[in-house]
Structure 1
């Protein structure tokens, strides 16, 4: 039987999902650390489904205009063979998603489960944090998400596949790769967030399938509350992050990852 969550657990865990899904700070590091601090059991599959729905809804609503234009122009370009900047961006999101799907299906979560060790997560949190900082310093920061080549997309796509390694951070590694190929921080973040839509949707579907096939009772207040809190927190994070990222850069997030990784080492070594 899945654990019954109280409202403190619901609020904290949903906030963690909403905040860490889009910030480049490693959600898995926080999910390992939180139960250790509070002595909580795993929140269960139903709650995972709920908070994924919340974060997916947040990113789709925030980018609703972009998603509509990309969908409209992509559909039209298939018929007319007349590409636009929005249809190309839609194709880039599709192509950049393929490596993560292929690796995920091939590995069947084996790598993720095998590497889900607090010290490994600590190492990847620190290591990929340093790479994020380096890419922010060395990147040319002159391009936007509409000026990408197929080679650029494959670099970002294969980088996203590395997020199967716990502690990497999906948003962190895709932003890192985008900065390395010359995107501005805001453009890197925008493309990373658009790229998250099919990934979160796919992960949510898999979890939902497992939930439907299961026989455990569902705590509906936890699901509804978790979805709402993760939606609100994720929407706020996306809004603030995109507004300020060109000004503040990636250094604060890299430093935060160093602290988080060091804390994990201290607690689990």
Structure 2
């Protein structure tokens, strides 16, 4: 792998992992424009680990709060940290179950095409716009109920289709439930932690040379670049949503979708 490919893929993945703009759409566009070869499993895992470091670092206070919930769950004690931790776990279950089914049945490969990514990028831009425009306001992540966790968790399963965007569909679902925009982003980002862990663990099982590949200079560089880019994108998104609506992301997705449709059908 060349240095420019490593930098471009790590930065693009990091920047788009948490924004509601479809990381798969961006990576496919990069491969179309640059004609890069496959980067390999080790780099995929490293990039996801970098993204994980970024979201955990940004939400370090929430992580400490939720870690208290781990203790309370083990001790069978009721507490607010334990309640929210269990709700995040509940919301993560559907993605794991449906992801396993799609991998075992081969469905995950059948929907991985440029045409699918292009159309889902456009369609779910409109879903994001509708949910943001019609959704109520005032709710916070701390007010999450079991029904909310189930709803957002089921919505997250749709992101198994490339181009949908995991962050985009979970924020859409949260906005439809009346969460404030920054709280919808917070819910989505915290929910990304178990999702990234699951994807990273599943991908790591495909490593031929074991964990040693993850400490190579290329993998470490990819992880570092992805972490920095992801942290910047999280900061940018949260800052933007404090001032405006989801419309900038909707417009951007529509533009990206049109470009991908042109590549798919031209």
TM-score tier (shorter): over 0.9
**1:222 matched residue in structure 2:** 218
Matched position secondary structure for 1:183:
coil
Could you tell me whether the CA contact under 8 Å between 1:111 and 1:164 is conserved in 2? no
**2:257 matched residue in structure 1:** 261
Structure 1 position 8, deviation (Å): 1.1
1:82 equivalent to 2:78? Answer: yes
**1:107 matched residue in structure 2:** 102
Of the three residues 232, 236, 244, the one matched with 1:236 is 232
User: What are the ranges of 5 or more consecutive residues in structure 2 without an aligned counterpart?
Assistant: none
Alignment of 1:42-81 (within 5 A): 42-79=38-75, 81=77
**1:207 matched residue in structure 2:** 203
1:187 equivalent to 2:174? Answer: no
Q: Deviations over 1:110-136 (max 9, x none)?
A: 222101111111110000110001111
**1:91 matched residue in structure 2:** 86
Could you tell me whether the CA contact under 8 Å between 2:213 and 2:219 is conserved in 1? no
Structure 1 position 75, deviation (Å): 2.1
- Cα RMSD over matched residues? 1.9
Distance 1:149 1:218 in 2: 38
Q: Deviations over 1:189-229 (max 9, x none)?
A: 00100000011011111111111467x97892221111110
Distance 1:78 1:206 in 2: 26
Could you tell me whether the CA contact under 8 Å between 1:24 and 1:169 is conserved in 2? yes
Q: Deviations over 1:142-192 (max 9, x none)?
A: 100011221111110000011100110000000000000000010000010
Distance 1:67 1:245, change over 3 A: same
Distance 2:49 2:74 in 1: 30
Distance 1:9 1:219, change over 3 A: farther
Could you tell me whether the CA contact under 8 Å between 1:111 and 1:165 is conserved in 2? no
1:197 equivalent to 2:217? Answer: no
Of the three residues 142, 156, 175, the one matched with 2:152 is 156
Q: Which is further off, 141-150 or 181-190?
A: 141-150
Matched position secondary structure for 2:21:
coil
Of the three residues 173, 176, 184, the one matched with 2:172 is 176
Distance 1:111 1:16 in 2: 26
Distance 2:173 2:109 in 1: 25
Distance 2:38 2:178 in 1: 40
What is the TM-score with the length of structure 1 in the denominator?
A: 0.93
